[in-house]
Amino acid sequence: MTRTHCPYCALQCGTRLEVSPQGLTVSPDEDFPVNAGRLCMKGWTAPRVLSAPDRLTSPLMRQRPGAQQRPVPWETALDRVGAELRRIVSAHGPDAVAVFGGGGLTNEKAYTLGKFARVALGTSQIDYNGRFCMSSAAAAGSAAFGLDRGLPFPVTDLASAEVVLLAGANVAETMPPLMQHLAGADLIVVDPRRSATAEGAALHLSPAPGTDLALALGLLHVAVVDGHVDHGYVAQRTTGFDEAWRRAAEWWPERTERVTGVPVADQYAAVRMLAAAKRRYVLTGRGAEQHSKGTDTVSSYINLALALGMPGREGSGYGCLTGQGNGQGGREHGQKADQLPGYRRITDPAAREHVAGVWGVDPADLPGAGPSGYELLDSLGRPGGPRALLVFGSNPVVSAPAAGEITARLASLDLLVVADFVPSETARMADVVLPVTQWAEEDGTMTNLEGRVLRRRRAIDPPPGVRTDLWVLRELAGRLGQPAHRFPDDPGEVFAELRRASQGGAADYSGIEPRNLDDQAEPVHWPFPAGGSSTPRLFLERFAHEDGRARFRAVAHRDAAELPDGAYPLHATTGRVLAQYQSGAQTRRVPESVEADGEAFVEVHPDTARRSGLTAGGLARVVSRRGATVARVRTVASLRTDTVFLPFHFPDAGRANLITNPALDPVSRMPEFKVCSVRLEPLGSG
Ligand code: SF4
């Protein structure tokens, strides 16, 4: 039996793997407190992906553009990639090569990928799909508290909550085992849809898509005028309340109702529920974040929590429900465009000095900050943009906004290299595909949404022909002239180096000894400095800003980048379903997931369907200014009549991201996945 963790979401449920002649079976780890004996269907069926019929077991290569991908030996594939990278860098400079990583990569892979880009390639062009996932909450959390850790308290603290406000988080479908910790709380759910989570809530607030910020400002307004502000806490532990209140003062309840559609009475009810509870939390998810004003929206929810005196108190607080498996660790170790390991800014001279020292290079040789994920992908193949891209652990053909244009950008490259374990839609476009190990075949560490560092353990051997990502990076670095010792492929060695690189940074792992990770039940939360200990709860004494105080941010509402008009009269919003995970590259290969939800669909209110000539079960084209997607119509009476909903897990013509708007948040550079304008066209029964 091997104790490890689910390969999917940021909860990182503990699992026990048993190997038998029939294959690998998974069961929940009863001792791991986060999932406490539960798994969702994705966790139960995760072993299916290990033996997917189309599992990649040999490198594939396209000899020339348009030719078929064919199996080749590793040496051939790596030599081709090495030679092309050298040619492109020598002809066009290091920034002609870009790297795109993933929030599911282990800490060791994320760390090595960032180092590979900055040292072996010398490129500034690296970012990752976490930019699409929770970068707005990271920016808002850093601004408010001086430090961003998804949950600054253990998940199990939620079990004693009396009231929890969930803003844009459909936990019942995305993280079902978390629901057991919320069972004793009255839930206030903010979601334009009546999601599975909203269905069981004490109060459901359904703002029009793109108006969450106005609603949060309105809730702060009610908190003030209804007399719920904790003035002692605000005076002692925060700064900036007056400016934030001045903005919220404009959002009197009737105006908030007019803009968001949330009734005045519900605004009061939500604030009074939160204010009356002793133990209460505000938690945000992608619904609050994935907007062109996502940072301000999350800041506005943090302002509400601060006004009520919640963050930094045991039994209360604010947190972000990070999405991807290593969404937290993935943003700490240097695969983000503007950061170095330890969650340090790449522009900080002291950070560059420290990390360059660990890497054995001159800090002056490290590149500066590069473009954000979408901007990087959108620049591919354009004049002055990168001509080669290496993708690890991501499937942007399905998951990037305006996916049609991004697919065209990928097709315009001189060289596309994809490391993956299945032929994802992005891998199928690649000139070279490198088959790599997946969760149960590898060792490493992950960091879940509570900043808890976990050990991923190898339970079985990978199929012959498959290599680890760390081995691939070492081999490529060698072909780019790097000494082998600089790029170890042993995860333990990489973790030891990562700890040194993180020392003194915001996400300090330097005190974590491998033995601390032996017992899954032992809580190992960063910061864990050398000579120190785990920090399960942050901010109890002081926040991480120099003066120890949290910051209110004064933010103003603005409209979504695109509003409905005569040509595109409806809001479209995107999200997730229980059976599928992210771009679906893994779960679309699981028969149980396909049976539960195997094709693209669009939820439409019955009146809207009738007006658009659509019938339940028929096919519709959902058309935006960027393209059209084809989806099966589901009529849902609880949905707003001005809104349609599409999950984004499906491929080809069913990609929801063919229609999404890449308008970016000015701070986090996160795209506006959650709202765009569309029209519906019937396509018949299909
Ligand atoms: Fe895996 Fe997340 Fe489901 Fe837990 S909740 S079993 S980590 S997908």
Q: What are the chain's domains?
A: 2-50 (2.20.25.90), 60-132+326-517 (3.40.50.740), 136-323 (3.40.228.10), 570-684 (2.40.40.20)
Whether pLDDT at 331 is above 90 = no
Place of tokens 């948040």: 665
Largest CA distance in the chain: 70
Q: Whose CA is nearest to atom 6 of ligand 1?
A: 43
User: Which atom, in ligand 1's list, is nearest to the CA of 46?
Assistant: 1
Nearest-CA residue for ligand 1 atom 5 is: 175
The pair of three-digit structure tokens given for residue 607, joined into one six-digit string:
């009146």
Task: Give the model's pLDDT for residue 685.
Answer: 62
Q: What is the pLDDT of residues 389-438, one digit of tens each?
A: 999 999 999 999 999 999 999 999 999 999 999 999 999 999 999 999 99
CA distance 157 to 316: 8
Tell me: pLDDT of 521 over 80: no
Distance CA 34, CA 60 (A): 39
How many angstroms is it from 427 CA to the middle of ligand 1? 25
Distance from residue 212's CA to the centre of ligand 1 (Å): 27
Please list, in sequence order, all residues whose beta carbon lies within 8 angstroms of the beta carbon of residue 553, skipping any fewer than 6 positions away: 140, 143, 144, 240, 244, 296, 299, 300, 302, 303
Q: Is 177 in the pocket of ligand 1 (CB under 6 A)?
A: yes
Ligand 1 mean position, distance from CA 73 (Å): 36
- What ipTM describes this predicted complex? 1.00
Report the interhelical angle of 212-225 vs 264-276 (nearest 10°). 60
Q: Is the pLDDT of residue 367 over 80?
A: yes
Ligand 1 nearest-atom number relative to CA 35: 4
User: Contact at 8 Å (CB) between 178 and 171?
Assistant: yes
Average pLDDT of the residues in 63-91: 96
For every residue of 423-450, DSSP letters joined together read: --TTGGG-SEEEEB--GGG--EEEE-TT
Q: What percent of the chain has pLDDT over 70?
A: 100
Which residue blocks in 209-339 are alpha helix, DSSP H?
212-225, 231-237, 241-249, 253-260, 264-276, 286-289, 294-307
The band of 440, judged by pLDDT with boundaries at 50, 70 and 90, is very high
Cis peptide before 527 (omega within 30 of 0): yes
pLDDT digit string, tens, across residues 6-55? 999 999 999 999 998 888 999 999 999 999 999 999 999 999 999 999 99
Query: What pLDDT is recorded for position 522?
Result: 80
Instruction: Write out pLDDT tens, residues 228-260.
Output: 999 999 999 999 999 999 999 999 999 999 999
Residue 39 near ligand 1, beta carbon < 6 Å: yes
Q: Is 325 in the pocket of ligand 1 (CB under 6 A)?
A: no
For residue 327, what pLDDT is reported? 87
Ligand 1 atom at shortest distance from the alpha carbon of 325: 7
576 within ligand 1 shell (Cβ under 6 A)? no
Q: Tell me the average pLDDT of the chain.
A: 96
Q: Is the C-beta atom of 12 inside 6 A of ligand 1? A: yes
Tokens of 535: 């920090």
Cα 485 from Cα 268, distance rounded (Å): 61
Question: What angle, 0 to 180 degrees and rounded to 10, lies between the N-to-C axes of helices 491-502 and 349-359?
Answer: 150
Q: Quickly state the pLDDT bin for 686 (edges 50, 70, 90).
A: low
pLDDT tens digits, one per residue of 136-171:
999 999 999 999 999 999 999 999 999 999 999 999
Of the CA atoms within 13 Å of residue 472, those in its CB half-sphere come to 27
Q: Is the pLDDT of residue 76 over 70?
A: yes
Amino acid, single-letter form, for residue 3: R
Task: Write the pLDDT tens digit of every residue in 80-109.
Answer: 999 999 999 999 999 999 999 999 999 999
The span from the CA of 438 to the CA of 256, in Å, is 47
User: Could you say which DSSP state residue 452 is in?
Assistant: B
Please list the residues that pair with 98 across neighbouring strands: 389
Q: Is the CB of 623 under 6 A from ligand 1?
A: no
**Best residue for ligand 1 mutational test, from 4, 5, 11 (most atoms within 8 Å of Cβ):** 11
Q: Could you tell me the strand order of the sheet in which 388-392 lies?
A: 69-71, 60-62, 432-435, 415-420, 388-392, 97-101, 126-128
Q: Report the candidate in 29, 506, 663 with the shortest Cα–Cα distance to residue 11.
A: 29
